[in-house]
C-alpha cells in the first residue's frame, strides 16, 4: 500500500492496485478546492443542519427531563440496572476508535493513503466521545456530583475507589478525549494557516488567524511539528487498544454469566474498530460526493478500509464462536444457559439474531472486489454493521442482567420513550457537530494531501512527464 513506491501509471478503474490519487492537482487549485466549503454553504447543508438541530433539541429535552425527574423515567431497574445508557456509551465510544486507528496506527505504519481521510475520522472520534461521555454521567443519577469521580482533597475526607471500574473509565475516557482533541488540533494548525491566508474577508481572516496561532510554515516549525505529531500518534496508538479494553473490564470483572470472560478486552477492541470504520464510511461517502473528493479519496481508500472492515468482522465472528464454545466447555450451568438458551432463544432473541446476521454476514460481501468499491454497497453495509454493533452492546448488557443466577429475580427490560429519545437525540447531536465541522474546519488534511501530490508527481509541476493521466 506504499504510495511512494507505486508506479505513477493510471490504472483502469476495475484493476488493483488503484492509485491513491487521480488527476493533476496544482497546489493552489487543490488548496482552494479543499477550502471551498468554508466560504459558502449549500441548501443541502442547511437542510441537514436543520434536521440535526431538531435532533439536538430532542436530546436537550430528554436529558433535561431525565435530570429533572430522575432516572426513573428510563426503563432500567434492578436487575437490569444498565440498559440503554450503557449500551449507547459502549457503542459511541467504540465508534470513536476508528478515528484514532486511522490517524495514529496508520501513520506509524507509514500508510500514506490515510492523509485524505484522517481528518474526518478524527473529528468523528471527538464527536462520538462527546456523546459517549454523556451517558455514564446521566446514568450516575445525580450528574451534578460527577466531580466526586475526580480525586481531589474533599472536606468529606473520602476518595474515589480506584479498585472499582468506574474511576478506570473516567481515566480512560478523559485521557482518550484529551489526546484525540490535541492530536486533531495539532494536525489542523497548518491547514488553518492556509484558511487564514485564503480567507475572502477580513473577519474570516482574523478568526482563522487566531486559530492558526501564527503558523508560518518555517522549516524549523515544520521539523518540530513533525516530531510532535509523530510523538502524539505514538502516544495515541496504545489508547486504541486500551480504552475499549478498560471499558470491557466494567463487564468482565463482574461475575455475571455473559460478562465474566477473559476474551472481553480484545473482543471489545475489535468490535470498536469495526463499528468505527462503518461510521467513517457513513460520513465519508456523502462527503466525498458533496465536496467532489473523488480524486483524493479513490477506490484505493474505499477498498483498503473495506478490507480492514472484513478483517475486523472475521475477528468478531471468531470471538462470537469462542464465547459460545467456552460457555459449553466451562460446563457451568449458568454460562451454558446464557449463551446456548437465553440469548438465541430467550426474550431478546430477535436482537440476538439481528446482531449475528448483520455483524457476521454483512462483511462477507467484501470478499468481492466489486463490492469493496461500490459506494452504495459500502454505505448500506456500514449502516447494517452500525445497527448490528448496537445490538451486540444491547445483547451483552441486557441479556446478561435480565436472567442471572436466580430465576426469582428475572425481569424483562423494556425501554421507555425517554430512552429512545436520548438515543435519537445523541445521533442528532453527532450530526450537528459533524455538520458544523465540515462547514467551518478543513475536512481534509490539505498540507498532507499536497505533500502526497508532490511526491506522486501529481501537482501539475511537470505536465510533460505525466502524459496519459486523466
- Rule CB under 8 A: choose which of 11, 53, 111, 221 binds another protein: 221
Residues 269 and 90: their CA atoms lie apart, in Å, by 11
Pick the piece of the chain touching another protein (CB under 8 A) from 186-194, 281-289, 346-354, 380-388.
186-194
CB-CB neighbours of 348 under 10 Å: 22
Site mask for another protein (CB under 8 A), range 439-468, x = bound: --------x--xx--x------x-------
Q: How far is the CB of 315 from another protein (least distance, A)?
A: 24
Q: How far is the CB of 461 from another protein (least distance, A)?
A: 6
Binding of another protein at residue 7 (CB under 8 A)?
A: no
Binding of another protein at residue 198 (CB under 8 A)?
A: yes
Binding of another protein at residue 140 (CB under 8 A)?
A: no
Residue 9 or 158: which CB sits closer to another protein? 158
Site mask for another protein (CB under 8 A), range 233-252, x = bound: --xx-xx--x---x--x---
Binding of another protein at residue 368 (CB under 8 A)?
A: no
The string of DSSP codes covering 25-61 is --HHHHHHHHHHHHH---HHHHHHHHHHHHHHHHHHH
Binding of another protein at residue 162 (CB under 8 A)?
A: yes
Q: How far is the CB of 181 from another protein (least distance, A)?
A: 9
Q: CA of 262: how far to CAs of 92, 177, 313, 322, 326, in Å?
A: 23, 26, 20, 11, 10
Binding of another protein at residue 184 (CB under 8 A)?
A: no
The torsion of the CA quartet 102, 107, 112, 118, rounded to 10 degrees, works out to 40
- Rule CB under 8 A: choose which of 15, 220, 331, 465 binds another protein: 220
Binding of another protein at residue 186 (CB under 8 A)?
A: yes
Residues 226 and 322: their CA atoms lie apart, in Å, by 42
Of residues 302, 458, 264, 300, the one with CA closest to residue 382: 302
Largest CA-CA distance found in the chain, in angstroms, rounded: 81
Please provide the distance, in angstroms rounded to a whole number, between the alpha carbons at the two ends of the chain: 22
- Rule CB under 8 A: choose which of 1, 140, 171, 322 binds another protein: 171
Q: How far is the CB of 170 from another protein (least distance, A)?
A: 8
Q: Judged by CB under 8 A, how many residues of this single chain contact another protein?
A: 63
Question: What does the block give as the cell for 201?
Answer: 474577508
Pick the piece of the chain touching another protein (CB under 8 A) from 40-48, 83-91, 213-221, 261-269.
213-221
Of residues 32, 26, 129, 34, the one with CA closest to residue 443: 34
Q: How far is the CB of 255 from another protein (least distance, A)?
A: 13
Binding of another protein at residue 411 (CB under 8 A)?
A: no
- Rule CB under 8 A: choose which of 36, 60, 213, 321 binds another protein: 213
Map the footprint of another protein across residues 11-40, applying CB under 8 A: 26-28, 31
Look at phi and psi of residue 403 and say left if phi exceeds 0, alpha if psi is from -120 to 50, else beta. Answer: beta
Of residues 260, 265, 274, the one with CA closest to residue 244: 265
Q: How far is the CB of 121 from another protein (least distance, A)?
A: 18
Q: How far is the CB of 152 from another protein (least distance, A)?
A: 10
The string of DSSP codes covering 349-394 is HHHHHHHHIIIIIGGGGGGSHHHHH-HHHHHHHHHHHHHHHHHHHH
**Residue 310 and residue 366 in contact, taking contact as beta carbons nearer than 8 Å:** yes
Pick the piece of the chain touching another protein (CB under 8 A) from 161-169, 329-337, 359-367, 388-396.
161-169
Binding of another protein at residue 209 (CB under 8 A)?
A: yes
What single-letter DSSP state applies at residue 19? P
Question: Which contacts of 259-268 are long-range, i.e. CB under 8 A and separated by 24 or more positions?
Answer: 259/396, 259/400, 261/323, 261/326, 263/319, 263/322, 263/323, 263/326, 266/319, 267/316, 267/319, 267/323, 268/90, 268/94, 268/244
Binding interface with another protein (CB under 8 A): 26-28, 31, 151, 157-163, 167-168, 171-172, 174-175, 178-179, 182-183, 185-186, 189-190, 193-194, 196-198, 209-210, 213-228, 231-232, 235-236, 238-239, 242, 246, 249, 447, 450-451, 454, 461
Amino acid at each position: 500500500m506504499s504510495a511512494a513506491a507505486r508506479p505513477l501509471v493510471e490504472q483502469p478503474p476495475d484493476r488493483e492496485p488503484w492509485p491513491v490519487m487521480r488527476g493533476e492537482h496544482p497546489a493552489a487549485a487543490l488548496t482552494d478546492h479543499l477550502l471551498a466549503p468554508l466560504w459558502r454553504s449549500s441548501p443541502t447543508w442547511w437542510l441537514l443542519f436543520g434536521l440535526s438541530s431538531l435532533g439536538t433539541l430532542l436530546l436537550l429535552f430528554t436529558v433535561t427531563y431525565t435530570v429533572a425527574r430522575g432516572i426513573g423515567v428510563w426503563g432500567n431497574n434492578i436487575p437490569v440496572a444498565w440498559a440503554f445508557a450503557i449500551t449507547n456509551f459502549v457503542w459511541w465510544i467504540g465508534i470513536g476508535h476508528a478515528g484514532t486507528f486511522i490517524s495514529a496506527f496508520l501513520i506509524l505504519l507509514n500508510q500514506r493513503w490515510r492523509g485524505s481521510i484522517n481528518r474526518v475520522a478524527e473529528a468523528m472520534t471527538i464527536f462520538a466521545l462527546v456523546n459517549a461521555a454523556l451517558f455514564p454521567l446521566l446514568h450516575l443519577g445525580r450528574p451534578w456530583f460527577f466531580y466526586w469521580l475526580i480525586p481531589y482533597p474533599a472536606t468529606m475526607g473520602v476518595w474515589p475507589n480506584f479498585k472499582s471500574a468506574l474511576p478506570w473509565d473516567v481515566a480512560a475516557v478523559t485521557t482518550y478525549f484529551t489526546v484525540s482533541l490535541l492530536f486533531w488540533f495539532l494536525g489542523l494548525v497548518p491547514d488553518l494557516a492556509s484558511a487564514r491566508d485564503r480567507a475572502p474577508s477580513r473577519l474570516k481572516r482574523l478568526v482563522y488567524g487566531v486559530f492558526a496561532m501564527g503558523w508560518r510554515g518555517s522549516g524549523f516549525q515544520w521539523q518540530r511539528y513533525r516530531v510532535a505529531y509523530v510523538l502524539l500518534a505514538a502516544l495515541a496508538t496504545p489508547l486504541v487498544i486500551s480504552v475499549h479494553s478498560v471499558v470491557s473490564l466494567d463487564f468482565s470483572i463482574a461475575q455475571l454469566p455473559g460478562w465474566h470472560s477473559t476474551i472481553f478486552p480484545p473482543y471489545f477492541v475489535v468490535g470498536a474498530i469495526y463499528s468505527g470504520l462503518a461510521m467513517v464510511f457513513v460520513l465519508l461517502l456523502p462527503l466525498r460526493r458533496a465536496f467532489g473528493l473523488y480524486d483524493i479519496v479513490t477506490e484505493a481508500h474505499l477498498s483498503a478500509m473495506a478490507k480492514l472492515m472484513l478483517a475486523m468482522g472475521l475477528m468478531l465472528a471468531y470471538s462470537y464462536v469462542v464465547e459460545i464454545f467456552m460457555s459449553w466447555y466451562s460446563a457451568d450451568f449458568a454460562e451454558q444457559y446464557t449463551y446456548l438458551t437465553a440469548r438465541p432463544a430467550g426474550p431478546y432473541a430477535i436482537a440476538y439474531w439481528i446482531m449475528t446476521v448483520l455483524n457476521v454476514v454483512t462483511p462477507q460481501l467484501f470478499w468481492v472486489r466489486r463490492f469493496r468499491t461500490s459506494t452504495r454497497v459500502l454505505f448500506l453495509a456500514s449502516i447494517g454493521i452500525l445497527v448490528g454493533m448496537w445490538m451486540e452492546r444491547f445483547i451483552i448488557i441486557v441479556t446478561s442482567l435480565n436472567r442471572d443466577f436466580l430465576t426469582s429475580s428475572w425481569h424483562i427490560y423494556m425501554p421507555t420513550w425517554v430512552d429512545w429519545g436520548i438515543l435519537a437525540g445523541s445521533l442528532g447531536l453527532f450530526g450537528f457537530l459533524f455538520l458544523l465541522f465540515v462547514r467551518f474546519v478543513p475536512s481534509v488534511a490539505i498540507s498532507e494531501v499536497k505533500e502526497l501530490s508532490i511526491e506522486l508527481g501529481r501537482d501539475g509541476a511537470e505536465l510533460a512527464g505525466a502524459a496519459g493521466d486523466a
